[in-house]
Amino acid sequence: MAEIFFPVRDYALAETLQSGQAFRWREVDGAWESVVKGRWVRLLEKPNGIVAKVVGAESNWSWLSNYLQLGIDIDQVIASFPKDPHLQAAIESCRGLRLLRQDPWECLASFILSSTKQIVQIQQIVDLVCRRFGDSVAVPEGHLPAFDFPSAQIIARLSETDLRDCKMGFRAPYLAGSAKMVASGEIDLAAISGLPLGKAREELMRLPGVGRKIADCVLLFAYGFQRAFPVDVWILKALLQLYFPRRKKSPKKLLEFTQSYFGPNAGFAQQFLFHYMRTRFPKS
């Protein structure tokens, strides 16, 4: 078992891991466990940083520091935001909130499964998919078994019934269809990182079950397109309640607003607003 201490400040680990961008982190004895890049990982938040443990030896931890995006300067990101009271309140509600850099396929598949589902349900569905069809990964002695997220090749070979048995309902044919396009190479997920934002989004939206919102989630949470701004029901509430309380804005105008107003780190602003609305205004 290898261990490392990452010194980092203003990193709200728990909130970040539970902020609806990743769905496989579980709290165990005050620590957080999941599988990243095929490896079991345990994270423990400390006052001045994060302690990480993995199974086996490890000399290069860049895969994990990249996943956690430990290198980004949160102050610089916040400084790039417009100085409006709503966004400032959202930031103050959880200053250490971060964006992760996830595996594109896992992120894509997870968000295909996310449509009109609560986060807890998405976690349950993803967990089912992993434990049924994912490869098992090495865990510490006596630890419960852990599984990797099944590849597109694996899912492409499953029947729609196999998938529906994981409680994903009408999303099953979407996931199956997308898995086949990725497995066949019709969509090259690796190549998307080199495209400009618009082209990258178009490419993702060729996949069945992937519209503007889910595409933007993947662009932001897996590829790191900082301008991607997914608009879900919570963000829509934020826009209508906080920014346009009395003006009747068309959906298109709202989208245009989000793309120009929040600046080069719009996606980060979006995550602050999402977390703010979900925790401060649970139902309204």
Nearer to DNA, 170 or 244 (CB): 170
Of 32-40, 101-109, 132-140, 166-174, the segment contacting DNA by CB under 7 A is 166-174
Measure the CA–CA gap between 196 and 141, rounded to whole angstroms. 45
> Under rule CB under 7 A, how many of the chain's residues touch DNA?
43
Check binding of 26 to DNA (CB under 7 A): no
For residue 197, the minimal CB distance to DNA (Å) is 16
Terminal-residue alpha carbon distance, the chain: 46
Selected binder of DNA within 119, 139, 195, 197 (CB under 7 A): 119
Selected binder of DNA within 12, 78, 205, 240 (CB under 7 A): 205
Check binding of 241 to DNA (CB under 7 A): no
Q: Which residues have CB under 8 Å from 118's CB, separation 6+?
A: none
User: Of 1, 6, 3, nearest to 50 (Cα)?
Assistant: 6
For residue 116, the minimal CB distance to DNA (Å) is 4
For residue 20, the minimal CB distance to DNA (Å) is 3
Contact set for DNA, span 207-236 (CB under 7 A): 208-215, 217, 230-235
Dihedral of CA atoms 235, 108, 82, 278 in degrees, nearest 10, equals 30
Check binding of 118 to DNA (CB under 7 A): yes
For residue 271, the minimal CB distance to DNA (Å) is 6
- Using CB under 7 A as the criterion, what x/- string covers residues 245-274 for binding DNA? -----xxxx----------------xx--x
Check binding of 18 to DNA (CB under 7 A): no
Residues that bind DNA (CB under 7 A): 19-21, 111, 114-122, 124, 164, 167, 169-170, 174, 205, 208-215, 217, 230-235, 250-253, 270-271, 274, 278
